[in-house]
Structure 1
Amino acid sequence: MSNDTRDIVEELLRRIAEGDHDRTAELFAEPIDWQLDWPAEGHPAVPWIRPRSSRTDVADHFRSLEAHHVPELNGTSVTRILVDGAHAVVFGEIVQTVRDGGTAYTSPFALHLTVEDGLVTLYHIYEDSLTVARALSAQA
């Protein structure tokens, strides 16, 4: 596999879309600089939003997302990938449907990644976490 930043980012996005959580996690360095932390203190409706640092944590993140959503109704899309050396930013829109109750939601996102030696060392995602939490809280 290539160590090129764009190639690794595209492979990461492909694996995430395929739903192979363990293969997705293999693309991450340990420890990983992970940021998906609003609300920082956690929220019972969105258990995947918490600190992560290992490949096991990464695989758990994607499993938890899948457990709370209907994968067949995922309409998440990527609109642009910008690469500058080891850094990449992915822009897109999250379109998900909550498994319990069927509430659909949409959120723009930006994902900042850093790739070093063929592995993702930084994964910071910025999304409308309030919209996500509200959609999942509606099921409580």
Structure 2
Amino acid sequence: MSRTAMSSSTRAVVEDLLRRIGEGDPDRIAALYAEHCDWKLDWPEAEHGRAATPWIRHRSGRADAAAHYRQLAEHHVPERVDTQVERILVDGDDAVVMGEIRQTSRSTGRAYRARFALHLTVEDGLVVRHHIYEDSLAVAQAFAS
């Protein structure tokens, strides 16, 4: 497959993933992840506790992806969720999605905005890498008791 065709295929999977995330069905979202996936978050573990943000952790595959999206939904007010995707950059199997997450903590009622960059790698139509870099301080402050 040519690099251009590979990039087109990657873009199609990423756009489908973003659409499914917007629809909010964890199992449909997870279906786009490989059985084994390299999932990492850029989160300073020593500085922020995890009790209030259990969805923020490293994961390893499709079942973990579904659990992530379920926990994310459980801890946020669904009527006050919005993600603005500003740009999708694609190079072969790799894509970077940049934008801003706008959410409201269910436990504290605090709204927050967090800039993010999501690095995805797609192989054979499935996401095999999910590395997210986000404003962890904004999230931690929204969930702090």
- Give CA deviations for 1:64-88 in whole Å, capped at 9, x if unaligned: 1100101111121101001000000
Are 2:24 and 1:19 aligned? yes
Structure-1-length-normalised TM-score: 0.92
Q: Stretches of 4+ moved more than 6 A in 1?
A: none
Given candidates 8, 14, 19, the residue that maps to 2:13 is 8
Q: Distance in 2 between matches of 1:8 and 1:127?
A: 22
The CA deviation string for residues 83-118 of structure 1, in whole angstroms up to 9 with x for no partner, is 000000000001001112310000110000000000
Seq. identity, %: 62
Where in structure 2 are there 5+ consecutive unaligned residues? 1-7
Q: Which has the higher mean CA deviation after the structures are superposed, 30-39 or 11-20?
A: 30-39
Conserved in 2, the CA contact under 8 Å of 1:39 and 1:49? no
Q: Which residue of 2 aligns with 1:55?
A: 62
- How many residue pairs match? The answer is 136
User: Distance between the aligned counterparts of 2:34 and 2:108, measured in 1?
Assistant: 36
- Among candidates 59, 64, 71, match of residue 64 of structure 1: 71
Q: 2:78, 2:10 → 1: CA distance? A: 27
TM-score normalised to the size of structure 2?
A: 0.89
Which residue of 2 is the match for residue 76 of structure 1?
83
- 1-side partners of 2:140 and 2:84: how far apart? 20
Q: What is the aligned partner in structure 1 of residue 108 from structure 2? A: 101
Match of 1:130 among 113, 131, 137: 137
Give distance in 1, aligned partners of 2:38 and 2:65: 11
- Distance in 1 (alpha carbons) for counterparts of 2:108 and 2:129: 34
Distance 1:100 1:40 in 2: 21
